[in-house]
Structure 1
Amino acid sequence: MKKRLKVGDVIQIPVAEYRVSYAQLLIARDVLFVLVGSKLWMAADGVPKNTSDLDPIFWAWTLDAKIYHGHWAVVGNWPVQMDECDLPIYKVGYEGRVFLESFSGQKLREASSEEVERVPYRTTISPIAIERCIKRLHGLSQDDVPLDECLIANTVVLSDVV
């Protein structure tokens, strides 16, 4: 039976021997949206107490395969403290034009030429790519991963364009 995921679930992601990272589930649908922490923890240290303890560094749309197969464990649930203005926006092509779309999928307006260059399309990355991004952040891998486009610091959010 498939595990029922809930918004706010805290996920433990094994990274290296005895070391783990944590992520919080912000959207729990067919495709998941996770907020991933920058810190590595010793697995034996226990679960961080809240989202700010994670020191969030990147977020991504991903799938539940690693959870479903037991590679990633749901270890808690915290309240989600995000406003839509703080979440990423995306571009979408429609009838030969490019529009900005809010995190929740609402079409905002036509994108400027600068926004077409700056704002990404909504993409999904594999759970393995998330693990590789975490490893790359900590110098444990040199894999070519989509880390830069997932970094919170590089994200265009709704409040940037409204």
Structure 2
Amino acid sequence: MAKRLKLNIGDIFTIPLSEKEVGFGQIVQMPDKYTLIIVVYNYKTFQAEKYDIEKAVDSEILFLGYTNDAKLYHKDWKIVGNLLNNISRILLPCFKLGLPSADYPDGARLVDFKGNVLANIDKKTFDKLHFQTEVGPIRFENALKAHFNLHEWIAEDYDKILYQKTLESVEIAAEILNN
């Protein structure tokens, strides 16, 4: 029987961009044993035996989202280190849950990245937020390639994993929770 891949929060991995270059991602949360929350950084370098992972995690975060371990398990993405000192600075998303309805006014809720209900929300707020979704790891890889102009940018696929969307959801949640 194959040995299960042991993944940890803080694991940093390479994402192949071409035969010569790689980008970097990091596991920032593991909500359950099958789901990872990862970030992908605005940093690329030539493939090497050893990488400056500090430089990678000091880069701007481009993408954040829920995914699975398929690319790590099959070693398409290679774990090259582990850092935890930056994890607390990474903001995690909030989402909408349910549907607003005149028949069920408490039907729409704001939830955190673990699915914990934070507040009831109105339709206006509901329309600003996104539902929690999980995408395949290839979407992150292709989005990073598109960011570096190696692929075409497909807005309907890549916009939803932009870290900017996470920051917007955190701002909306802060407004609700501080009122």
Structure 1 contact 37–54 (Cα < 8 Å) conserved: yes
- Residue type matched to 2:113 in 1? F
CA RMSD of aligned residues (A): 2.2
SS of alignment partner, residue 125 of structure 1: coil
Query: Higher Cα Rg: structure 1 or 2?
Result: 2
* Counterpart Cα distance in 1 of 2:165 and 2:130: 10
TM-score (norm 1): 0.88
Q: 1:132 aligns with which of 142, 148, 151?
A: 142
Change in 2 beyond 3 A, CA 1:109/1:51: farther
Structure 2 contact 16–23 (Cα < 8 Å) conserved: yes
Structure 2 contact 13–80 (Cα < 8 Å) conserved: yes
Shift of 1:22: 0.7
Structure 2 gap segments, 5+ residues each: none
- Residue type matched to 2:19 in 1? E
Q: 1:9 aligns with which of 5, 8, 11?
A: 11
- Residue type matched to 2:38 in 1? V
Q: Tell me the equivalent position of 2:157.
A: 146
Q: Tell me the equivalent position of 1:82.
A: 88
Change in 2 beyond 3 A, CA 1:52/1:74: closer
Between the aligned residues of both structures, percent identity stands at: 25
Change in 2 beyond 3 A, CA 1:119/1:108: same
Structure 1 gap segments, 5+ residues each: none
Q: Tell me the equivalent position of 2:41.
A: 37
Shift of 1:104: 2.3
Shift of 1:50: 5.5
Change in 2 beyond 3 A, CA 1:33/1:115: same
* 1:108 pairs with 2:114: no
Q: Tell me the equivalent position of 2:27.
A: 25
TM-score (norm 2): 0.80
* Counterpart Cα distance in 1 of 2:115 and 2:158: 23
Aligned length: 161
- Residue type matched to 1:102 in 2? D
